[in-house]
Each structure stands twice: as C-alpha cells, then as structure tokens.
Amino acid sequence: MINFTKMHGLGNDFVVIDAINQNISLSSEQIRFMSDRHFGIGFDQLLLVEAATDDQVDFTYRIFNADGSEVAQCGNGARCFARFVRDKHLCDKEEIRVSTNSGILILCFEDDGMITVNMGIPKHKPAEIPILAAEESKFYSVDMVEERRQVDNFSHHVSQRAFGAVSMGNPHAVMQVHDIKTAYVLSIGAQLENHSVFPERANIGFMQVIDQQHIKLRVYERGAGETLACGSGACAAVVIGIEQHLLASDVLVELPGGSLKIHWSGRGQPVFMTGPATSIYDGSITL
C-alpha cells in the first residue's frame, strides 16, 4: 500500500509520495495506471520526495509524467513539494534546497502563503535544449500540418510555424498566437512535442502577449497533454518573450488554472516563479 497526497498548483495536478518513510519503487506501467483519470487516481505528474544524497540540499525531488517518463523539471510541482514537506513535518525551513536531475532548485515560503521557486538559469544553446539546429536562434521554424474542419469536411494545410526554444531544465518551445482561445493547441502541440527536431520531445507553449508585463499562456506538456498550468512553461514563455524583445523582466502569466508571477533579469540569471500550492486530500492505493 502506498500513501500519497493529491495536490495541485493552479490545476496542474500531482500525486506526491513520501519516498523517505516508505519504500517506493514504481514501474512506468504502474505510474501510467495511477495517472489514469478513470481507472486510477489521475494526475499530470507524480512527484517523489526522496532523501538528500549530499549536504548541499535538503531533499531529492523526482518527477514522472502521466505517461510514465521520468523528467528533470516541474515548476508547479516544486511549489507543491515545498508545501508537502512542511505539512508532513519533514522540514520546517523557510528556504528548502532540493536536487533534481537538472540541478538544484531553491523553494521559499512567502508571508502571504505563496511559494517562490528559484528555477535556475535557462539554457539557450541548441545542444542544451536539446533542439536539432545548426546554430542558436531567437526563432526556429518547422513545417506543421493544420487540420481545419468546415461542417463535414476536413482539409489539411501545411504551414511554417516559428517558435522560440529554451531549456528550463526541461525542453520548451513557445510560439506567439493572436488569441489562445482559438489556437490549435492540441493538434499543433502534439505534432511539435513529437517532432524530430526535438530528440527528447518538448513542452509546447502558446503565448498571447497582452502587454509587456502580461501574457496569456496555454501549454501542451510533454508526456501529459494540455494542462491547466505549467510552471516551467510559464518561465520559458517569459524568457523567450524577453529574448524576442516582447516582454519586460516582471511578467504576470495568466494560465487556464490561474496566474503566476515570473521574474527574469536576463542571460546568466536565474528565473523566479511565484504562485500557490494546494493540498486536496490524503489517500492510499494498493497496486
């Protein structure tokens, strides 16, 4: 039997498991079963709280997508991780350091109950993202097929799509759209997530710029599909928007599940993300 807590960050939902006081070893098949919203518990990501492996950090933070793949970054999950270790009395520090497969994250409790995460320094070189491109660019482009429906008729249009790309510890592509409500998030998102230009697949953001300090964003996540919010996606959109001279250094990112505040002061600097983390219920499951 595994004890878990169901949590969410702006509707990006998680099963969080204490793997310090429980002996946990999950196959990707078991993770896929638990992520199923009809036959299992349902979640976008499963988060494991593990013991620190050195004295630089307080914990190890592991992340699995709903499709069972292990990944290296999850921003909304990081805020839930902080709330979980505090609620379960595993740590009472105001600032928590966790190691992930992509480096160290620093999680800080704010006076108003929000949590700020130092998400690390974004990486821009093609090999670091990774994206198959000869050189770094603010705009990459690939051919995409768009399916349009008119009454009973489907037509297919091939068009070039331009996007920015960055690693926030995980790979992101972000394209600007006129209106996120009408953007082809599911079809373009699924195609670009799995496009051969991304050897490790990618998370795909659709960004509508309202003004220099405000964007609307929908994210089609690698290994999970469209989610109500994506923390690393919000950071990636702001970094790419700043690189493309569209945004200022403090941006409110409005996602379908709510808003995040993102701050980035430019190349070589870490990105800071502030937002809520909510516990829904404790449960247990026998696999």
Ligand X SMILES: N[C@@H](CCC[C@H](N)C(=O)O)C(=O)O
Give the one residue of 68, 75, 120, 189 binding ligand X; rule: CB under 6 A.
75
Give the one residue of 2, 71, 115, 277 binding ligand X; rule: CB under 6 A.
71
Query: Distance (Å, rounded) from C-alpha 229 to C-alpha 247?
Result: 20
Name the minimum Å distance from CB 102 to ligand X: 9
Establish whether 241 is an annotated binding residue. no
Establish whether 212 is an annotated binding residue. no
Amino acid, single-letter form, for residue 65? N
Instruction: Say whether 80 is catalytic.
Output: no
Stretch that binds ligand X, among 75-83, 96-104, 126-134, 255-263 (CB under 6 A): 75-83
Establish whether 30 is an annotated binding residue. no
- CA 127 to the chain's CA centroid: 20
Phi first, then psi, for residue 258 (nearest 5°) are: 140, -170
Contacting ligand X within 223-282 (CB under 6 A): 223-224, 227, 230-232
The binding track of 161-200 with respect to ligand X, each residue x by CB under 6 A or -, is ---------x------------------------------
Nearest alpha-carbon partner for 26 in 14, 37, 38, 35: 35
Marked catalytic residue, from 74, 80, 91, 235 = 74
Establish whether 21 is an annotated binding residue. no
Distance between first and last Cα of the chain: 7
Q: How many residues bind ligand X (CB under 6 A)?
A: 20
Query: Distance (Å, rounded) from C-alpha 9 to C-alpha 80?
Result: 7
Name residues whose C-beta falls within 8 Å of residue 260's C-beta, 6 or more positions apart in sequence: 10, 229, 231, 234, 252, 253, 273, 274, 275
Name residues whose C-beta falls within 8 Å of residue 89's C-beta, 6 or more positions apart in sequence: none
Instruction: Say whether 91 is catalytic.
Output: no
- Annotated catalytic residues are 74, 230
Annotated binding site for substrate: 12, 45, 65, 75-76, 170, 203, 221-222, 231-232
**Residues at the contact surface with ligand X, assessed by CB under 6 A:** 12, 44-45, 65, 71, 73-77, 170, 203, 221-224, 227, 230-232
